[in-house]
Structure 1
Amino acid sequence: HAWVRATAPGQKVAGAFMEITADRDMELVAGTTPRADHVELHFMRMDDGVMEMRELESIKLPKGETVSLKPGGLHAMLIGLTSQVVAGEKVPMTLTFRDSQGKQENVGITLDTASPRH
């Protein structure tokens, strides 16, 4: 269930969304994609009609619980897009996870591209 929103020509950022269920207590600590200069983990919410967004160092993934990265909440932000993300294309991404012992693991995923209205 991993996807990224298509972008307008010249747009330099895009949100990536997914559901993650870890088989042990872990944290999502980073992401990379050849389609952007870098990836940041973000938290977003509306507070009294004002959008608040901030970068996170990590996203906790408790064992067996599904954590949703979705519009209006936790998400990954692709920053410095190298080209327009077009609806229907696939975007490769690598996620970096860290377990409670500090061991890191990289997992490659493919983001489906949804229309800007998704």
Structure 2
Amino acid sequence: MTQIHMDPEVLVGLQDVMEGEYPHLLDTFLDDSQKRVEALREARGDAKALGRIAHSFKGSSGHLGAVRLAELCQRLEIESTSAQVADLADLVDQIDHEFALVKPLYESECQRFWVG
């Protein structure tokens, strides 16, 4: 599994496409991601719900260049179909931890545009 937390090339591409809306996109991603992490915590006992949340979280993370977060979500999505719910708790913890790592990176990226 890769250790890339935030792919700068993806962000440059998004900045080019989104132009002035880029900081809003980052804010939306951060807000939405926080809600998804909380939803994962709440769904710890429901493998089907974990898989659904992980699927959508994987997509948004991948599109915003949060590479490792997307990979962890993909693992949770796949494993939610066959693993015991108790075995999924570690992946939820890893996703929670990874989001805690990338959140300040995206906040810093966003600040570059709100301040500038």
Q: Which of the pair is proportionally richer in helix?
A: 2
Scaled by the length of structure 2, what TM-score is found? 0.26
More strand by share: 1
